[in-house]
Structure 1
Amino acid sequence: MRSGGILHSVRGMNHTPSSAAGVLAGRAADAGLALTHGGRRWHRPLVALAVFGGAVALCSLAAMPFDDRTLLGDSVWSKPFKFGFAFFAYGLSLAWLLSHMTKLRRTGWVVGTVFAVVSAVDFAVVVAAAAAGTFSHFNDTDTVLNQVVQLAFDFVPLLFLTNAAIAVLVLFQRIGDRAVTAVIRWGLALSSLGMFAAFFILAVAEQHDRTRTDANGDTIPLSGGHGVGDPDGNGMVLTGWSTTGGDLRVSHFIGLHGIQVLIGLAMLLSLLAARRAWLRDDRVRGAIVRWAAVGYLGVFAITVWQAVRGQAFTAPDAASLAAYAAAVLTAAAGVAVTAARARRRASTAAA
């Protein structure tokens, strides 16, 4: 059986109300959240990128207990693990998204392939630098390895451009139901902003030349850092985000993975619709996704604001806390009003 028919086949074999699995699978399929859409397979180069990222992430995690080399206090395998997880999650999300396009599919496939190739090269040089025990970002040495790494990084802006191009492509088409369309449009907008935040690091982060010792004991000249107010900072466990200064990697992460959060929300709403009649209208689910995205966008913007002020994500001041509260409450109020109206309509229809 082809993977594209899994959810549809389950739905077809389970028509009775007692078959919860069939109902839930049917809801997911109706919402456009099936493994494939219209028999089309996921974008294979992006799936390959995701597999590559996932494999490296797992290998990096396994290597940490056995390799005691560190860079700025973190395992040399910390960065490959984080990059691997990011490419695994985003590669799968983008591969799923492109399978749902109904217009300009060939253009979307080409743009997605460019994204996959550039990402794989970018990721590969990060892994190579880590394996060599040296810095990949901000490294000013003239070694052959570093020259290759920095050359590869010159193509990183293509990731933002290709992602933005896909975002523009989906603006002119409806993909799945209203909830899925909202997920894709808002998710791509958030991820594009997250990628732009990565470039913004170069503009606002501390750019003072300095030297640091790599895992091999060599002195490495660095031309900048991730932090604002503290170029290297004292990093959080695993993420490495600064606890002593601003860090735009926080907003980069939040923006980049917004699409996964929204996909998860849309799937949850589709499953709940099996038991909640008022959620079966895709206009209601779409509105809830949009309100959640508005709140998420607010959180993203506030993390940027925190970082450029040199404020650690873990130490928000009163103004930041108030802004976070406003973003969350705005989204919650929008969802609450949407749900209340939908319940009233459902009650009226049932009567």
Structure 2
Amino acid sequence: MSVTAASPFLAVQTRWHRPLLWLSLAMAASTLAALAGLALDPRLLDGAPLWAKPFKFSVSILIYALTLSWLLGQLQRWRRLAWWAGTLAAVFLAVEIVIIGGAAAAGNKSHFNVSTPVAASLWSVMAASIVIVWIAGLVTALLLFRAPLSDPVRSLAIRAGFVIALVGMALAFLMTGPTAEQLNSFRGIVGAHTVGLPDGGPGLPLLGWSTSAGDLRVPHFVGMHALQLIPLSALLLEFGARRVPLLRAAATRLGLIWILVLSYLGAVALLTVQALAGQPVVRPDATVTAWGVALLAAAGLAAVVVLRRGRRALVAQQGVVLPAASWQQP
């Protein structure tokens, strides 16, 4: 399947990866099935709706499959290797969602469950599957680094987004080790999302992130979705350049994307430290708050510097004086 997109961001010929597209369609159906389960099945597991996890994973895999399918289509070389990497990712993501959905239908935990030989085997299969998916993502990232993507802003957004996403995915391995309580009193569960308290306490609606302890799902989630958010930001800057003269210079947009990349990395690192310290994401302590404010302030100051430089360059090139209070005049 190939399309030529009208947007400058998508202006190259794209050959969508078919197995990943089929997976995305299956995940759309899985999302609807999980929504039906949420509406019709009142059962809870660890204090959360039984079908919340299949719903969240279906949506996440749907987004990842579509994104990866498009990214693989950007490659003009090594297409066979890219096809196999994408196909392996599709197969083992499908394996993971089947196990998660099957466990939910049976009313059992899918993650960290080693309470029976069958449960332990399924958990081992899931763990192996996500390792294979991560390796397939790493191969894709390496291919993207070697591929000519024509536009420096686009290239930075795609490559940095993928690297941060791989970091976010890797953070899931921090959840797989046994907690001190599990070592002292084994009850068939090895690993946990939360830090400082057992899984299953009060959490944010649907997301389930703990509101009383640290939760490693927060940096895991934020990191993974850099794969969508950073390239999307580059796309929005390209669209904005049509109306805002200041954004038309690639150097200005490149500087803004660099700020976003570094700030995003800082945010993932800060959220990871916060989770490992046992702090709920909704109640950061003074130190985490101070670092968060400093990160935002640094990003804002850097953006001002980049925009001021871009404005001076635009004036020098065009001989036009832009209004000081409004850089967004056409």
Is 1:67 matched up with 2:41? yes
Is 1:42 matched up with 2:16? yes
| 1:238 Cα offset (Å) | 0.7
In 1, the alpha carbon distance for the partners of 2:112 and 2:260 equals 36
Corresponding residue to 1:184 among 155, 158, 172: 158
| SS of structure 2 residue aligned to 1:154 | helix
| SS of structure 2 residue aligned to 1:141 | coil
In 2, the alpha carbon distance for the partners of 1:68 and 1:205 equals 30
Change (3 A) 1:6 1:156: closer
Corresponding residue to 2:172 among 172, 175, 198: 198
Q: Which moved more, 1:223-232 or 1:325-334?
A: 325-334
TM, length-normalised to structure 1: 0.84
Aligned residues: CA RMSD: 2.2
| SS of structure 1 residue aligned to 2:129 | coil
| SS of structure 1 residue aligned to 2:282 | coil
Q: How big is each residue's C-alpha offset from its partner over 1:250-289, in whole Å with a ceiling of 9 and x where there is no partner?
A: 0100000012111221121111111122322223222211
In 2, the alpha carbon distance for the partners of 1:318 and 1:250 equals 19
Q: Which moved more, 1:298-307 or 1:113-122?
A: 113-122
Q: How big is each residue's C-alpha offset from its partner over 1:213-246, in whole Å with a ceiling of 9 and x where there is no partner?
A: xxxxxxx732232111112132221111111111
Q: State the partner residue of 2:137.
A: 163
Specify the code of the residue in structure 1 equivalent to 2:243. Answer: R
Q: State the partner residue of 2:255.
A: 287
| SS of structure 2 residue aligned to 1:243 | coil
Specify the code of the residue in structure 1 equivalent to 2:282. Answer: T
| SS of structure 1 residue aligned to 2:182 | coil
Aligned residues: 318
Is 1:238 matched up with 2:206? yes
Q: State the partner residue of 1:33.
A: 10
Q: State the partner residue of 2:312.
A: 344
Is 1:4 matched up with 2:3? yes
Is 1:260 matched up with 2:237? no
In 1, the alpha carbon distance for the partners of 2:179 and 2:313 equals 51
Is 1:324 matched up with 2:292? yes
| 1:145 Cα offset (Å) | 6.0
TM, length-normalised to structure 2: 0.89
| SS of structure 1 residue aligned to 2:15 | coil
| 1:41 Cα offset (Å) | 1.8
Gaps of 5+ in 1: 8-28, 213-219
Q: How big is each residue's C-alpha offset from its partner over 1:71-122, in whole Å with a ceiling of 9 and x where there is no partner?
A: 0111111001110111111111111111112332322222121111111111
Is 1:227 matched up with 2:194? yes
Is 1:101 matched up with 2:56? no
| SS of structure 2 residue aligned to 1:4 | strand
Change (3 A) 1:122 1:273: same
Is 1:122 matched up with 2:89? no
Aligned pairs for 1:4-23 (under 5 A) are 4-5=3-4, 7=6
Specify the code of the residue in structure 2 equivalent to 1:4. Answer: V
| 1:6 Cα offset (Å) | 5.1
Change (3 A) 1:311 1:192: same
Whether the 8 Å contact between 1:54 and 1:85 is mirrored in structure 2 is yes
Whether the 8 Å contact between 2:2 and 2:16 is mirrored in structure 1 is no
Change (3 A) 1:206 1:334: farther
In 2, the alpha carbon distance for the partners of 1:84 and 1:163 equals 18
Q: Which moved more, 1:248-257 or 1:333-342?
A: 333-342
| SS of structure 1 residue aligned to 2:3 | helix
In 2, the alpha carbon distance for the partners of 1:206 and 1:96 equals 43
Aligned pairs for 1:276-315 (under 5 A) are 276-315=244-283
Q: State the partner residue of 1:250.
A: 218
In 2, the alpha carbon distance for the partners of 1:129 and 1:176 equals 45
In 2, the alpha carbon distance for the partners of 1:206 and 1:77 equals 29
Whether the 8 Å contact between 1:250 and 1:313 is mirrored in structure 2 is yes
| 1:63 Cα offset (Å) | 2.4
The percentage of counterpart residues that share the same residue type is 34
Q: State the 4+ residue runs in structure 1 displaced beyond 6 angstroms.
A: none
Whether the 8 Å contact between 1:33 and 1:180 is mirrored in structure 2 is no
Gaps of 5+ in 2: 320-330
In 2, the alpha carbon distance for the partners of 1:153 and 1:121 equals 11
| 1:163 Cα offset (Å) | 1.3
Specify the code of the residue in structure 2 equivalent to 1:65. Answer: A
| SS of structure 2 residue aligned to 1:64 | helix
Q: How big is each residue's C-alpha offset from its partner over 1:108-147, in whole Å with a ceiling of 9 and x where there is no partner?
A: 2221211111111111111111111110011123264663
In 1, the alpha carbon distance for the partners of 2:146 and 2:138 equals 14
